[in-house]
């Protein structure tokens, strides 16, 4: 029996702690499979290169920490948070092909080549991996590109839940194309959000000024010496 749209809603959690991470391919893949929301943790500055304007069709929300992301997911009744890890990771995990989904699910993406951080793993209720086809010749172990793994995970999830409806095609002068969904309406920041951002900027400015003052004081001390 297929789950309802609400029951099969799924979320992507991406790390952007360092800032300016390119999320373009994640956005494009999320849009293709109908992700409910993409949660960006860390900096609000990120790139969309390669996304082909997918950021206009994906509901993107921002959280400062993974704990905040966890609390938000609980608030929308998403209790299953699965970390996508390497099939070679020592922590046991089932293949995405063997998973049985019973409700809203969030998938956490690690860093390319680095995997999931401890902060990410701490909010996971479980882990999954993508099976890699065994190579005929022994070579150095490798993992598929993270975006490729994400596409496999979402394709399996949407097929398993049977709640995914493929968009219809519209005629063009060539081969036709899928119809676009409605663009996500961007909402203005609330007063509390603006106040919080302003306070954080002031705190960072004060930290920089303190460092500069300490450096100047040390310089004067050395000159006197």
pTM exceeds 0.95, yes or no: no
Residues 146 and 219 both lie in one domain: no
Residues 14 and 46 both lie in one domain: yes
Residue 5 falls inside a structural domain: no
The band of 114, judged by pLDDT with boundaries at 50, 70 and 90, is: confident
pLDDT above 70: residue 15? yes
Residues 119 and 201 both lie in one domain: no
On average, the pLDDT of the chain sits at: 84
Residues 42 and 129 both lie in one domain: yes
* Residue 80 burial (CB count, 10 A): 18
Residue 182 falls inside a structural domain: no
Are the beta carbons of 48 and 27 closer than 8 angstroms? yes
Residue 42 falls inside a structural domain: yes
Residues 82 and 144 both lie in one domain: yes
Q: Nearest Cα to 15, choosing from 168, 87, 123, 97? A: 123
Residues 150 and 113 both lie in one domain: yes
Question: pLDDT value at position 158?
Answer: 93
Residue 39 falls inside a structural domain: yes
Average confidence (pLDDT) over 108-126:
92
The residue length of the chain stands at: 225
CA atoms within 13 A on the CB side of 114: 9
Question: pLDDT value at position 151?
Answer: 95
- Least confident residue range of 80-94, 108-122, 198-212: 198-212
The band of 37, judged by pLDDT with boundaries at 50, 70 and 90, is: very high
Residue 4 falls inside a structural domain: no
pLDDT above 60: residue 188? no
Tell me the percentage of the chain whose pLDDT exceeds 70: 78
Residues 25 and 56 both lie in one domain: yes
Residue 51 falls inside a structural domain: yes
Question: pLDDT value at position 193?
Answer: 62
Residue 72 falls inside a structural domain: yes
Residues 160 and 89 both lie in one domain: yes
pLDDT above 60: residue 189? no
- Which domain does 56 fall in, by range? 10-168
Question: Could you give the number of structural domains in the chain?
Answer: 2
The band of 108, judged by pLDDT with boundaries at 50, 70 and 90, is: very high
Separation between Cα atoms, residue 9 and residue 3, nearest integer Å: 9
Rounded to 5 degrees, φ, ψ at 64 are -80, -30
Separation between Cα atoms, residue 225 and residue 223, nearest integer Å: 5
Residue 65 or 133, more confident? 65
Residues 95 and 57 both lie in one domain: yes
Residue 176 falls inside a structural domain: no
pLDDT above 80: residue 140? no
Q: What is the CATH number of the domain that holds 47?
A: 3.40.1280.10
Residues 107 and 199 both lie in one domain: no
Residues 160 and 193 both lie in one domain: no
Residues 52 and 82 both lie in one domain: yes
């Amino acid at each position: 029996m297929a789950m309802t749209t609400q029951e099969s809603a799924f979320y992507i959690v991406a790390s952007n702690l360092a800032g300016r991470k390119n999320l373009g391919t994640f956005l494009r893949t999320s849009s293709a499979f109908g992700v409910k929301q993409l949660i960006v943790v860390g900096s609000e500055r990120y790139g969309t290169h390669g996304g082909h304007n997918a950021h206009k069709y994906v509901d993107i929300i921002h959280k400062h920490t993974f704990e905040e992301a966890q609390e938000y997911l609980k608030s929308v009744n998403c209790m299953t948070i699965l970390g996508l890890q390497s099939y070679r990771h020592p922590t046991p995990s089932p293949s995405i092909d063997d998973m049985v989904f019973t409700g809203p699910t969030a998938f956490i993406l690690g860093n390319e080549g680095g995997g999931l951080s401890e902060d990410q793993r701490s909010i996971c209720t479980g882990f999954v991996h993508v099976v890699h086809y065994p190579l005929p010749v022994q070579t150095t172990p490798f993992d598929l590109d993270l975006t490729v793994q994400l596409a496999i995970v979402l394709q399996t999830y949407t097929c398993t839940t049977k709640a995914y409806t493929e968009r219809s095609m519209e005629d063009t002068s060539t081969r036709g194309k899928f119809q676009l969904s409605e663009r996500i309406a961007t909402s203005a920041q609330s007063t509390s959000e603006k106040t919080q951002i302003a306070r954080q900027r002031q705190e960072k400015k004060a930290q920089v000024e303190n460092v500069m003052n300490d450096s100047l004081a040390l310089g004067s001390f050395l000159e006197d010496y």
